[in-house]
Chains A and B, each alone.
Chain A
Amino acid sequence: MNNTILWYTTRGAGAVSLVLLSAVVVLGVLSTLRYESPTWPRFLTTGLHRNIALTAVVFLALHIVTAVVDPFTHLGWLTAVVPFSSYYRTFWLGLGTIAFELLLAITVTSLVRGFIGHGTWRAIHWLAYASWPIAVMHGLGTGTDTWSVWMLAIDAVCFVAVLAAVAARLLTTSPDPLAADRARFRERVSRKTPR
C-alpha cells in the first residue's frame, strides 16, 4: 500500500477523532446539565453523544491501524496497547495509547451498562475527563501537523469548547432538584455508630 495514503489517513483520522471526541465531551456536559430548548429535546443531546462517540471510535480505530501498518513508522501492534513502548516519540505516543485505553473502557462499559449497573458505569465514565486532555497532548506532541494553521485552529476551537463546557459544569449547581434534600434526609437516618 502506498505509504503516503496511510500516513495522511493516520493524521486525518487523528484530527477527526479529536474533533469528534471534543464534541462528545461537550454533549456529555450538556446532558449532565440537562440542557434543553423548544427545538432541542433531551434525547437529542444523549443520542448525539452516543452516536458521535461510536463514530469517534471508528475513526480512532482507523487512526491506530493505519499508524501501525505503515512501514514508515516502525510501530508494532504492541504499541497500540502498551503505553510508552514505541521508539518513535515514546512519551507522546504513549499518551495516545493511554487515552485510547481509557476511551475503550468508557465505551465498553457504556455498551454493557445494563449489566454492570449505574454506579460502576458512572465511576468509569468519569475517566472521560482524563482521556480527553491526554488525547489532546498526544496530538500536540506526536502530530506532524501541529504547527500548521488549520490544525492550530481546530485545536483552539476544541479546547475552547471543552473548557467552556467544563466551566459551565463546575459553576452550575446540580440540576437534580432532589439532590440536596435527599442528601440531608440520608444524613438524618444514617447509623451514627459503626456496626
Chain B
Amino acid sequence: MAQLEMWIDRTKCDGHRLCAELFPEGITLDDWGYPIITPGAIPPRLLPHAQRAVDSCPVLALALRRVARPSAPAPAPTATT
C-alpha cells in the first residue's frame, strides 16, 4: 500500500480552517490561522480523516500525494538562478 502525505497549494489556501477542524492529528493552525501540516506519511488509520479534510477545503488547496521517494536529483529550490 503506497504511503500518502498531505500536500498544500499555499497560493490557494485562504485560511478557511476546515482542514484543522477535521484532521487535528495532522493539521494545526499557526498564529495567523493558516494550516501547519505535519510532514511525512499519514498513519493508515487516520487516512479517512485526512481525506475528509482534503474534501472539505472550499478552495481545493489540499491533496493527498504519494510520499516522494528519493530518486534522480531534481534541481534545487526555486531561485533566480
Given contacts A31-B58, A46-B56, is CB(A118)–CB(B17) below 8 Å?
no
**B16, CB-defined interface residue at 8 Å:** yes
A42 touches B21 (CB 8 A): yes
From B22, B56, B58, B60, give the contact of A117 (CB < 8 A): B60
A41 touches B21 (CB 8 A): yes
Interface residue tally for chain B (C-beta within 8 Å): 12
Given contacts A34-B16, A176-B15, is CB(A114)–CB(B21) below 8 Å?
no
Task: Please indicate the chain A residues that have their CB under 8 angstroms from the CB of B15 in the complex.
Answer: 176-178
B18 touches A42 (CB 8 A): yes
Give B26-81 interface residues, CB cut-off 8 Å to A.
56, 58-60
**A89, CB-defined interface residue at 8 Å:** no
A176 touches B12 (CB 8 A): no
From B14, B56, B59, give the contact of A43 (CB < 8 A): B56
Q: Which chain B residue has the least Cβ–Cβ distance from A41?
A: B21
A176 touches B58 (CB 8 A): no
**A169, CB-defined interface residue at 8 Å:** no
Task: Please indicate the chain B residues that have their CB under 8 angstroms from the CB of A31 in the complex.
Answer: 58
Interface on B for A, CB 8 Å cutoff?
12, 14-18, 21-22, 56, 58-60
Could you jot down 25 A-B contacts, CB within 8 Å? A31-B58, A34-B16, A41-B21, A42-B16, A42-B17, A42-B18, A42-B21, A43-B21, A43-B22, A43-B56, A46-B18, A46-B56, A46-B58, A47-B56, A113-B60, A114-B60, A117-B60, A118-B12, A118-B59, A118-B60, A176-B14, A176-B15, A177-B15, A178-B14, A178-B15
